[in-house]
A and B are shown apart, each in its own frame.
Chain A
Amino acid sequence: MNAQAIALDTLRAALRWEGPGSVAVEDGSALADLAAWMVEQAGPWPDAARVTMESLIAMHRARSDSQEDWRRLRVSAVTLGDSDDLETRWAGWVAEAAAWPLAASRSGLAEIFRAVAQLCADRAAAETGWTVQDRAQAEEILGKLASGTDGAVPPREKIPALFAAADPVLEKRFKAQLDAGNAAYEVFRKAVIAWLKDRIGQNNGPAVEGDVRG
């Protein structure tokens, strides 16, 4: 099995898509196009991230093997990923995942998929009004609930109800952002499967249902 086929198998595991089994990928250009396409789906970019993201897409499309250029992009990606601006930080996390050549990489496609899917989920959650402060507050409450009181740790399945009792307004908003995030993740997952079926011709996999982006 060649490196591209291994990378594709790793991506399919991340997609939870069994498909027809391992396939030979003779030409890496389709997978490079997939990497570039996935990064594109995470746009539009904030101004601070635009040059880095466009360079990444161009490097994948060109199947660049310039280690120096990839390393330079990784440095830019980390700078974005450490930004105080949320949108810039999200773009940076995608850039960090994408700033590697696909050749001889098992994990490249799967890493890009996870990063973009997470960005889609984070954006959808934020569109419900969910903020970084909300998340910190929810994590604090959930952490305390999971730790239990007086040495008694509650069963995991009871934690949502305990959260609702502790802060009903925050719990309702927590669930709304979680549902929105999960739905956005799922839309992107299905879009990637649809891309694979279309471009690589794996038409024996499970049916793709629902709307897809891109």
Chain B
Amino acid sequence: MIHDDDLAPSEEIANGRLQLFMFSANWCGPCKAMTPMVEDIAESYADEVAVAKIDVERSAALAERFHIRMVPALVLYREGQEIARHTGSMNRTRLSLMLDDAIGGGAA
């Protein structure tokens, strides 16, 4: 969980892996519903992807920097570049496909 507007600690933890940012809010029902699924994905793809959850109210500047207008929103990031984005609910299969496309091979 990122608690402020600083991505540096997350980038350090990612250590060269892809980064998946899940933008959410504590009043957002679909965000809460998706969280266990994203945690499953984080475990399945731990070798390739670092997952971070970002609350759009606690990290308003980050949300603005990523142009987040609705939540939940998933942003896939590699070496400082956004490579994929999805806004709204998403199931585990579709998210795994998005990650597989980015990684360039099968996973999970």
Which chain A residues have a beta carbon within 8 Å of chain B's beta carbons? 10, 14, 67, 71, 74, 77-78, 93, 96-97, 99-100, 104-108, 110-111, 114-115
Chain B neighbourhood of A67, CB < 8 A? 108
- Give chain B's interface secondary structure class: helix
Count of A-B contacts judged by CB separation below 8 Å? 43
- Give chain A's interface secondary structure class: helix
Q: Which of B37, B93, B94 has the most CB of A within 10 A?
A: B93
Does B104 have its Cβ within 8 Å of any Cβ on chain A? no
Give the CA-CA distance A181 to B64 in the complex, in Å.
Answer: 36
Structural contact, A78 and B40, CB atoms closer than 8 A:
no
Chain A neighbourhood of B93, CB < 8 A? 74, 77-78, 96-97, 99-100
Give the CA-CA distance A99 to B92 in the complex, in Å.
Answer: 9
Structural contact, A111 and B92, CB atoms closer than 8 A:
yes
Give the CA-CA distance A201 to B8 in the complex, in Å.
Answer: 48
Give the CA-CA distance A71 to B96 in the complex, in Å.
Answer: 10
List 11 additional contacts besides A71-B108, A100-B40; criterion CB under 8 Å: A67-B108, A74-B96, A78-B93, A78-B97, A96-B91, A97-B93, A107-B36, A110-B33, A110-B36, A111-B37, A111-B91
Give the CA-CA distance A10 to B106 in the complex, in Å.
Answer: 27
Give the CA-CA distance A71 to B106 in the complex, in Å.
Answer: 9
Give the CA-CA distance A212 to B52 in the complex, in Å.
Answer: 40
Does B43 have its Cβ within 8 Å of any Cβ on chain A? yes
Structural contact, B36 and A97, CB atoms closer than 8 A:
no
Give the CA-CA distance A74 to B107 in the complex, in Å.
Answer: 12
Which chain B residues have a beta carbon within 8 Å of chain A's beta carbons? 33, 36-37, 39-40, 43, 91-94, 96-97, 106, 108
Structural contact, A114 and B92, CB atoms closer than 8 A:
no
Structural contact, B43 and A104, CB atoms closer than 8 A:
yes
Give the CA-CA distance A24 to B102 in the complex, in Å.
Answer: 38
Shortest A78–chain B CB gap in Å is 6
Chain A neighbourhood of B108, CB < 8 A? 67, 71
B94: nearest chain-A partner, CB-CB: A96
Shortest A112–chain B CB gap in Å is 10
Shortest B28–chain A CB gap in Å is 15
Shortest B33–chain A CB gap in Å is 7
Q: Which of A71, A93, A104, A106 contacts B91 (CB 8 A)?
A: A93
